[in-house]
Structure 1
Amino acid sequence: MSTTRMLRRPTATLSAAIALTLGLAACGSSEPEAAPAATPTQEMTTDATEEMTEEMSAAPEVPATVMPMGTGDPFADARTAAQHMPETAATLAAGFAAALEIPGETDSEAADLRAGLTALLQEHVYLAGIGVATAYTAGADSPEFEAAAATLDANSVALADAVGSLAGDEQREAFLALWREHIGYFVDYAVAVKGGDDAARDAALASLDGYTGQAGAFFEEVSGGALPAADVAMSLEMHVTTLTTAIDDLAAGSPEAYGSLQAAAAHVGEGAAVIAGGLVSAAGLQGDPADEAATLRAQLTAGLQEHVYLAGLAVFTAYTSDGGTSSAAFEAAAATLDANSVALSEAVGSLAGAEQGEAFLALWREHIGYFVDYADAVASGDDEAAAAALIELDGYRGEAGAFFEEISGGELPADAVAEGLAMHVQTLGGAIDSLAEALVEA
């Protein structure tokens, strides 16, 4: 078990608070804005997982299909859970495209690139936000922040690999150096804002402004002019504006931080579409990244991956906030998670009809509730309740599989959907285990 535990155990149960918050969000929330290939899920065998398996031996038997897999590093585990979702998005998009005869291709080289960039750039925003939140909560010199920073850098390397696969090794190294530099400026900004150092804040903003011009020139060069420097710079200026707004909110402890982070992530999805279009043209890749099928895949990628990161942020907030699940920060995190659920249901409804969208929303919220029950049980050391929640999640897999098979006219086989959801439960459950291990007081 980790020796770096800190803070307090939540003062109220997760299940009661999230159930209340999601209920309020369902009744009164405004409509949310609609929001490479990821690396394969890593195999995980750790002392923490073995220990949990032993502890559950006295509880109801948990099917192996949903046994959580964690490493003890909550940031790496959250990324592993998130990286599984683009695969699910590709499967769902292909099924819907076939069932509804949606124009375009979900599996073209162009569609692969757009979905991959969407996932990586969105992940950059969420991992940056999580890193800042961790620094503010645990300290910039803490092992927790070092782990968060390492996971953010793994995303940077993956982005550089994607660029290098099209532009060559030399351009990969140039991109990685430039990208890491801009992350350093965001770190400088976060430190300055938290410390109330206006001069350092302004200096960081000036550095970020200079970066947008450099990055614009870089992409114009590697795309052979298909991506004009001014257009790229303008998009990156919005990236700076939206992410610094989220950092401001995190520094102030504002409940608006979660919505601000979601807005910053939504913006880079738009940027991914633009960059993909330019790189596809420059590299002569097969397919159109802007056709309807490729767009559907990218949108599902963003929505499903965001679900994982927002769920992780909600649990992180419950485990670290003053007041735990009764805090305004936690209520805001849960409401932002539910906004993502509504957006996903609207995407399903636009394809399968409003009635099916509502059915999906009910089913999706139910599975979030089971994850809530699991997080609550892990935090309180209730092995029996944890096992019961995992068993419910195992049952959910079958229900969701049957749902998607029906609305896709058989193009999405129930067993294939259920198999994908097994990995979702295993990886997100593992991330929850690691969050509890790192952040909940023993």
Structure 2
Amino acid sequence: MSTLRPTRTSAAVAAALALTLSLTACGASTDEDTGSTPPQQETTMAPEETDAMEGGDMSAVMPMGTGDPFADARTAAQHMPGTAATLAAGFSAALEIPGEVDSEAAALRATMTALLQEHVYLAGIAVATGYTTGLDSAEFEAAAATLDENSVALADAVGSLAGDEQRETFLGLWREHIGYFVDYAAAAKEGDDAGREAALESLQGYTQDAGAFFEEVSGGELPAGDIAASLEMHVSTLSAAIDDLAAGSPEAYASLREAAGHVGEGAAVIAGGLATATEMSGDPADEAATLRADLTALLQEHVYLAGVAVFTAYTTEGGTESEAFTAAAEVLDANTVALADAVGSLAGPEQREAFLGLWREHIGYFVDYAVAVSTGDEEAADMALMELDSYRGEAGAFFEEISGGELPADAVAEGLAMHVQTLAGAIDSLNAALVQGS
């Protein structure tokens, strides 16, 4: 059985990533654009908000949330596939990358990448919530409901290709396997080795059933054994992350990221088989399609890692001073360093350091905001939002300079407003559910 590893980015991907964060959350993706499900709430910006460019207008960064922290985190993350598609299209054209970034097959791969990665992060968040508040708590039920929305979206994607009957079959199988993971999580927390083994045995049976399912719906293009092997790796990596969460190990965050990283290759395999079986246009494995999928995974991961870090601060004794938060922040910072490396590969070492400082500073402002709202310090919360508003202008000027004017500063600042609004809204909802409601 081969080990799935996160795909390494090419030089073209590195160049694209250098500009990626300036465009995050430019708007919600649509089914037509990305094949992914739309965000759960509409975020329409008022004229005075869209006019706020380089700071000074607080309406441009006022938090937007629903009160459901898990749904809000997913809303923030779901802006990313559309951004990835836009970036991939622009850089594919500029750098003459072979393939078609907007083909049906490329869209399918990007969709499967986003949904499968999201499944891992939402599952991890649900388990962490269950361990914190109880597997019978309202908070766990809310986390599980958001995870189930991801399951429905996956089933919709499969059903759009294989038909309604196969959609229902897949949904039943997928929900069943999530139930086995919940059984495993409960047993792991209780130290019930027999229960863990029973859950793993059920998950092993699922991998075989799912393998047979995909072989059938793909007309043999996806051999059952290959799919089962890939899913076995999913089971082993996610169960390892659950073990770390149950033990309260600081390694849990890196383990969860590893589990999420493994599904990218699986998404590529599934997309390839289904694209061939349905005679889709394009090749999901060409360089342009790969660029789009890579950007989708990296951007979405940034949002979920940020959410996990705040969740950890709110649910761990010691908050931002705890060992657990330090570990979660280190995993998030690894993403920041990778992005700075990408900037440096495009603009040079000096600009790499400038980006690294800017991006770390902006993450610090989000931490300041999270601490302030949890302690009821409205003045500090407003100050953090003001700093984030100012950051938009600084980041805009930075990206305009390194792109030679291809990314106007005001457009960058406007795009970052949605990122601040949705992530701050998720922080507000986390605070209400996990701090004020505790």
Does residue 345 of structure 1 match 2:343?
Answer: no
What is aligned with 1:37?
Answer: 35
Counterpart-to-counterpart distance in 1, 2:73 and 2:317? 23
Q: Is the 8 A contact 1:41 1:83 kept in 2?
A: yes
What is aligned with 2:187?
Answer: 192
Counterpart-to-counterpart distance in 2, 1:254 and 1:164? 39
Structure 2 counterpart of 1:274, from 260, 269, 272: 269
Q: 3-state DSSP class of the match of 1:131?
A: helix
What is aligned with 1:18?
Answer: none
Structure 2 counterpart of 1:254, from 244, 249, 254: 249
Q: Is the 8 A contact 1:393 1:425 kept in 2?
A: yes
Summarize the Cα distance change of 1:408–1:114 in structure 2 as closer, same or farther, 3 Å threshold.
farther
* Residue ranges of structure 1 left out of the alignment (5+ in a row): 1-31, 46-59
What is aligned with 1:209?
Answer: 204
Map Cα deviations across residues 309-352 of structure 1 (whole Å, 9 max, x no partner): 11111111111112222221111001011011122333444555
Counterpart-to-counterpart distance in 2, 1:94 and 1:415? 21
Map Cα deviations across residues 390-415 of structure 1 (whole Å, 9 max, x no partner): 22222323333444444445554544
Does residue 87 of structure 1 match 2:87?
Answer: no
**TM-score for the superposition, normalised by structure 1:** 0.84
**336-345 vs 402-411, which moves further:** 402-411
Alignment of 1:400-415 (within 5 A): 400-415=395-410
Paired residues in the alignment total: 397
**77-86 vs 248-257, which moves further:** 77-86
What is aligned with 1:295?
Answer: 290
What is aligned with 1:323?
Answer: 318
Q: Is the 8 A contact 2:39 2:74 kept in 1?
A: no
Q: Is the 8 A contact 1:303 1:343 kept in 2?
A: no
Which one-letter code corresponds to 2:434 in the other structure? L
Q: 3-state DSSP class of the match of 1:440?
A: helix
Alignment of 1:20-169 (within 5 A): 37-43=35-41, 63-169=58-164
Q: Is the 8 A contact 1:242 1:263 kept in 2?
A: yes
Counterpart-to-counterpart distance in 1, 2:219 and 2:349? 44
Counterpart-to-counterpart distance in 1, 2:182 and 2:282? 38
Deviation, 1:148, is: 0.4
Q: Is the 8 A contact 1:118 1:269 kept in 2?
A: yes
The percentage of aligned residue pairs carrying the same residue is 79
**TM-score for the superposition, normalised by structure 2:** 0.85
What is aligned with 1:397?
Answer: 392
Q: Is the 8 A contact 1:96 1:408 kept in 2?
A: no
Counterpart-to-counterpart distance in 1, 2:217 and 2:349? 44
Which one-letter code corresponds to 1:164 in the other structure? G
Counterpart-to-counterpart distance in 2, 1:346 and 1:42? 33
Which one-letter code corresponds to 1:328 in the other structure? E
Summarize the Cα distance change of 1:346–1:75 in structure 2 as closer, same or farther, 3 Å threshold.
same
Q: 3-state DSSP class of the match of 2:297?
A: helix
Counterpart-to-counterpart distance in 1, 2:87 and 2:398? 12
Deviation, 1:94, is: 2.6
What is aligned with 1:313?
Answer: 308
Deviation, 1:231, is: 0.9
Which one-letter code corresponds to 2:187 in the other structure? A
Q: Is the 8 A contact 1:44 1:69 kept in 2?
A: no
* Residue ranges of structure 2 left out of the alignment (5+ in a row): 1-5, 10-33, 44-54
**157-166 vs 323-332, which moves further:** 323-332
Summarize the Cα distance change of 1:294–1:217 in structure 2 as closer, same or farther, 3 Å threshold.
same
Deviation, 1:279, is: 1.4
Summarize the Cα distance change of 1:233–1:254 in structure 2 as closer, same or farther, 3 Å threshold.
same
The two structures, once aligned, show a CA RMSD in angstroms of 2.3
Summarize the Cα distance change of 1:66–1:130 in structure 2 as closer, same or farther, 3 Å threshold.
same
Map Cα deviations across residues 59-98 of structure 1 (whole Å, 9 max, x no partner): x975222111111111111111111122222222233333
Counterpart-to-counterpart distance in 1, 2:277 and 2:402? 38
Counterpart-to-counterpart distance in 1, 2:118 and 2:235? 15
Deviation, 1:379, is: 1.4
Map Cα deviations across residues 95-132 of structure 1 (whole Å, 9 max, x no partner): 33333332223222222111111111111001000110
Q: 3-state DSSP class of the match of 2:63?
A: coil
Counterpart-to-counterpart distance in 2, 1:351 and 1:296? 16
Counterpart-to-counterpart distance in 2, 1:148 and 1:289? 32
**348-357 vs 194-203, which moves further:** 348-357
Q: Is the 8 A contact 2:103 2:282 kept in 1?
A: yes
Summarize the Cα distance change of 1:415–1:164 in structure 2 as closer, same or farther, 3 Å threshold.
farther
Map Cα deviations across residues 222-275 of structure 1 (whole Å, 9 max, x no partner): 111111111111110000000000000000000000000000000011211111
Q: Is the 8 A contact 2:41 2:75 kept in 1?
A: no
